[in-house]
Amino acid sequence: MAEYTLDVTTGSMTHAGTFDNMYVTLIGTEGESERTNLTNFGLDDKTGKVGTYSVTSLLSLGCLLLLKLERDPFHESPQEDWFCSKIVVRTREEDETIFPCYTWLSRGETVWLRGGRATKAFEDFHPQLADQRRKELLKQKLIFKWEKYEEGMLYILNIQDPNAIPAEIRFSFSKAFQFKYLKEQMEAELKLKGLINSTEHWKSFEAMKGVSWFKKSPLSEYVSEHWKDDDFFGYQFLNGVNPFVIQRCSKLPANFAITEEMVKPFLANGSSLTAEMEKGNIFITDYKIMEGLPTRVIDGKTATVTAALCLLYLNPEKKLLPIAIQLGQQPSEDNLIFLPSDLESDWLLAKIFVRNADTIHNEFISHYLRTHLLAEVFTIATLRNLPTIHPLHKLLIPHYQHTLHINILGRALLFGSGRYLEKISIETDGQMELLRRGLSQTTYASLCPHENIAARGLESIPNFYYRDDALRLWNIINSFVKAIVPYYYPSDSEVSADFELQEWVTEIFYYGFLRNVDSGIPSSFQTVEELIKFVTMVIFTSSCQHAAVNIGQFDFLGWIPNGPLSLNHAPPTTKGQSSMETILATLPNKSSAGRSMAILWQLSIKYEDSVPLGTYPEQRFDEPAALQMIKDFQAELSSLNVAITKRNADLELPYINMNPTKIENSITI
């Protein structure tokens, strides 16, 4: 008689438990066990509990291949679903195999679990394993299908209702509740203040501060005090929520109509623009990507977004200061060059137009496209092509937690008819065109921070904390991936032979980058080295890069004059005519400002069940070597947290967006 002891763990989330009957069948190389009812008076499968059961067989089952877990279809208890985390199977000889499950089981549902070491398809010699693997992917491909977002855009999931995706990748009950509660709380506050439908403009900046009674952060307070300062304006290009536009300028673009005389007064004594460019002290932000995008009419006025150009100077005190702004790509008499010496309100207005272009660039390109949508592509490709026993499924799936849910929800709440993004300057077709342009410019190199920063000539600019933290994070993730990937792929030939892996990257190339060879995204892998870099990029994009653009949204953009998504007037065509009243009339009206602030708050807070980078609450790997690599990864992240905290203690404005304790493992909001 062979006896197997099973420890069955129920998930610790709300409503995970059940009183229903479950049945287990163990399948081994030498046969299969009886279908065994897991019953110990029905109380074991409570939330967070481990129930221990015994499964016997007349003869040894040999090497365990599969575990079949069935939920009784007939029961009268009100609880419908049960979340099984894992089942640990022990033999009399104390051999232990973990069968990760991490699945919600409905009544009558059956799941087949694989245990033990992660395997690639060509390592599954037993026909039953190969068959199960094939069936799992067939099922996944029926659930997760690609759908073209729009003509010329990447593909997304073909499901529009978050409740229609499998429960294990949906928001948890507690997160869904918190998300809904916050939304209703914010709407109630806006309604109470008469901000929901108000088309009035703010009478003063002081009045604007009263938009929320409770929603403040130390950084948002700082921004509301310093948003007019030139050095804070410059600082944000490096350490705000969009540090991806600025680049070193060694030659002035032909369409930026600046003369030496114009900017000489703002440079160090006796210096010239040419000399400062040669020294590497001149930088530029160019929003050409916004050129010609159709804008909408808001409250009877045509809204504006500018394809602005802004020149910046790194002064001897190492402050990055704007020294000239042109609010359009084509120089002309009407397209003025604004300078720090202009009337205060003219210069401030010019900076607000740049902030508007930068905020739109951040939300659409840096945030939505280059993190949310790309992570959706990585998630779908993984769910369709890599079965749960595949080493890369085990490695990557924690980095996709809740990503499909938030993307589906975001499309419904932000992009739908009458939704939030109908209030921004660019009209719906223009928003899609902006995403299309963004995608066509998204290269593999631009997603890898070392290459991205080098291409922009920003290796040595001082006080660039995003760069410092991003490069260290990339290196830490890369070290982890460099350890774990070769453990499962000891040679290049194993990479080329893994057809599931090849299908995975082919789908990413096809559906995420539309077979654009110029993107540099690989369509196949030949070497372990290529695979390591790509997997590092996937994890970095789905965690760190998203944190860089997401965490500080309320801090930096919650003060609406610093992050307006819509502007109500065209840029001035003459100087000396504006006033603070002109600026208030140009900025978003009360309802737009209130709604922006509320949404940014909702997107920036930390939710209860957030999982920090490198934390893997689900035990998917069974191999001690892989578990040790995870521990080493966590230790490195912990050291970085100490270093960043120490650095920040000496800064007037701490850079917190890339602290590993704040970065989530996946895009969840």
Residues that bind Fe ion (CB under 5 A): 550
**Do 502 and 524 touch, CB atoms closer than 8 A?**
yes
Of the pair 366, 388, the CB lying nearest Fe ion is at: 366
What is the smallest separation between the CB atom of 158 and Fe ion, expressed in angstroms? Answer: 22
The size of the chain, in residues, is 669
What is the smallest separation between the CB atom of 372 and Fe ion, expressed in angstroms? Answer: 6
SS3 state at 53: strand
What is the smallest separation between the CB atom of 667 and Fe ion, expressed in angstroms? Answer: 6
What is the smallest separation between the CB atom of 180 and Fe ion, expressed in angstroms? Answer: 18
SS3 state at 613: coil
Of the pair 281, 550, the CB lying nearest Fe ion is at: 550
Of the pair 236, 550, the CB lying nearest Fe ion is at: 550
DSSP-based helix, strand, coil % in the chain, nearest 5: 45, 15, 40
SS3 state at 82: strand
Residue 84: both structure tokens together: 């099984």
Q: Which letter does DSSP use for residue 379 in this model?
A: H
Of the pair 36, 550, the CB lying nearest Fe ion is at: 550
Of the pair 410, 572, the CB lying nearest Fe ion is at: 410
Residue 229, C-beta contacts closer than 8 angstroms, at least 6 positions apart? none
Of the pair 550, 657, the CB lying nearest Fe ion is at: 550
**Do 346 and 364 touch, CB atoms closer than 8 A?**
no
Residue with tokens 């009478």: 203
**Residue whose CB is nearest to Fe ion in the complex, by number:** 550
What is the smallest separation between the CB atom of 371 and Fe ion, expressed in angstroms? Answer: 7
Distance CA 515, CA 507 (A): 9
Of the pair 356, 550, the CB lying nearest Fe ion is at: 550
Q: Taking CA 488 as the corner, what is the angle to CA 483 and CA 489, rounded to the nearest 5 degrees?
A: 95
Of the pair 586, 665, the CB lying nearest Fe ion is at: 665
What is the smallest separation between the CB atom of 503 and Fe ion, expressed in angstroms? Answer: 28
Residue 598 phi, psi dihedral angles, 5° rounding: -65, -45
Distance CA 165, CA 178 (A): 20
Of the pair 411, 456, the CB lying nearest Fe ion is at: 411
What is the smallest separation between the CB atom of 375 and Fe ion, expressed in angstroms? Answer: 9
Alpha carbon distance, N-terminus to C-terminus of the chain? 52
Distance CA 440, CA 664 (A): 28
**Do 317 and 300 touch, CB atoms closer than 8 A?**
no
Of the pair 442, 550, the CB lying nearest Fe ion is at: 550
Beta strands in 327-372 (DSSP E): 337-338
What is the smallest separation between the CB atom of 648 and Fe ion, expressed in angstroms? Answer: 23
Q: Which letter does DSSP use for residue 524 in this model?
A: S
What is the smallest separation between the CB atom of 368 and Fe ion, expressed in angstroms? Answer: 8
Distance CA 642, CA 532 (A): 27
Q: Could you tell me how far CA 190 lies from the centroid of its own chain?
A: 28
What is the smallest separation between the CB atom of 126 and Fe ion, expressed in angstroms? Answer: 43
What is the smallest separation between the CB atom of 668 and Fe ion, expressed in angstroms? Answer: 8
Of the pair 325, 603, the CB lying nearest Fe ion is at: 603
Nearest Cα residue to 318 out of 419, 423, 400, 238: 238
Residues pairing with 82 in the sheet:
105
CB count within 10 Å of CB 314 equals: 20
Nearest Cα residue to 616 out of 401, 346, 365, 359: 401
